Amino acid sequence: MSGRYEIRLGGSGGQGLILAGVILGEAAAIHDGKNAVQTQSYGPEARGGMSKSDVIVSNEEIDYPKAYRMDLLLALTQASFSGYVKDVKPGGLVVYDTSLVRDVCEGNYRLVGIPIVETATRAIGKSMVANVVSLGAIVELTGIVSKEAVEKSLMGRAPRGTEEINRRALHAGYDLVKNAEQKTTAGNR
């Protein structure tokens, strides 16, 4: 990969997407030696309601630090799917949680629906790790950062005692994608 790759992690406050974005950015910037910028939403938008964490990864210097034509959108709520999908760039990727996002509209992007929260709850036993499951899925899907990098970054950020559960969640994310059905649509938006 070269050039700018924009990722938006969209959901609601408390889903841990900010942290996921930070882990992703850190994986790219520190462990993979790329450039990365992470930003997030603040203010009323962030309180309770929609929350977003944007990560831009590039081999070159990143000037404009805001995501504006996303290569990948992760949506963990219906609101974030509906609200952000229009900013996905043609041919981009939209990953969403199949239980939380029901109203999926198609467009000039690849849709990947996976049971993220369900996996977190069922396989790991903690819905809280949905963010890490998502991370795994994204990394598996895009290869935007190396698996070693994301694992190092995750281990550096995980509170003591939660390392194992987080590692499992990450791997569950990899696996989810490997097994997932991928719907691709080539709309003509």
Partner 1 sequence: MTEQRETRRIRFIQGNEACAEGALYAGCRFFAGYPITPSSEIAEVLGEKLPRLGGRFIQMEDEIAAMAAVIGASLAGVKSLTATSGPGFSLKQENIGYACITEVPCVIVNVQRGGPSTGLPTGPAQADILQTRWGTHGDHPIIVVTPSTVAEMFTETVRAFNLSEKFRTPVVVLADEIVGHMREKLVVPATGEIEILGRAKPACDPSEYRPYDVSRGDVPPMANFGEGYRFHVTGLSHDATGFPTSDAATVHADQVRMTRKIYGRLEEIEKSEETETGDAEILLVAIGSTARSARSAVRLARERGLRAGLFRPITLWPFPDARVRDLAKKALAVVVPEMNLGQLALEVERVAHCDVPITGVHSAGGEAISPAQILAAVEKAVVR
Partner 2 sequence: MGFDYMKYLREEKMPHIWCPGCGHGIVMKALIRAIDKAGLDQDRVVVVSGIGCVSRMPGYLDFNTLHTTHGRALAFATGVKMADPTLHVIAVMGDGDAVAIGGNHFIHTCRRNIGITTVVANNSIYGMTGGQRSPTTPLGDNTSTTVYGNADPPFDISALAVAAGASYVARTTTYHAQQIERLIVSGFENRGFSLIEVIGPCFVAHGRRNRARYKSNLDMYREEKETAINVTATKGKPQSELMGKVTIGVLHHAPMPEFTDEYQKVIEKATHVRTI
* 128 is a site residue for partner 1 (CB under 8 A): no
Q: What is the nearest approach in angstroms of partner 2 to the Cβ of residue 87?
A: 25
- On whether the CB atoms of residues 90 and 109 are closer than 8 A, the answer is yes
159 binds partner 2 (CB under 8 A): yes
Q: Given the structure tokens 């194992």, which residue do they identify?
A: 164
Contact with partner 1 (CB under 8 A) among 19, 30, 123, 128 = 30
Q: What whole-number distance in Å separates Cα of residue 77 and Cα of residue 100?
A: 5
Q: Identify the CA nearest to 67 among candidates 34, 40, 96, 29.
A: 40
Residue 86 corresponds to which tokens in the numbers above? 């229009």
Task: Please tell me whether residue 48 binds partner 2 under the rule CB under 8 A.
Answer: yes
Out of 9, 20, 29, 137, the only residue in the binding site for partner 1 (CB under 8 A) is 29
Residue 39 touches which member of partner 1, partner 2, none, C-beta under 5-8 Å by kind: partner 1
**Where would I find the H helices in 37-162?**
78-84, 116-119, 130-142, 147-157
Q: Which is nearer to partner 1, 92 or 113 (CB)?
A: 92
CB of 81 to partner 1, least distance (A): 21
Residue 129's SS3 state is: helix
Chain positions contacting partner 2, by CB under 8 A = 44, 47-48, 159-160
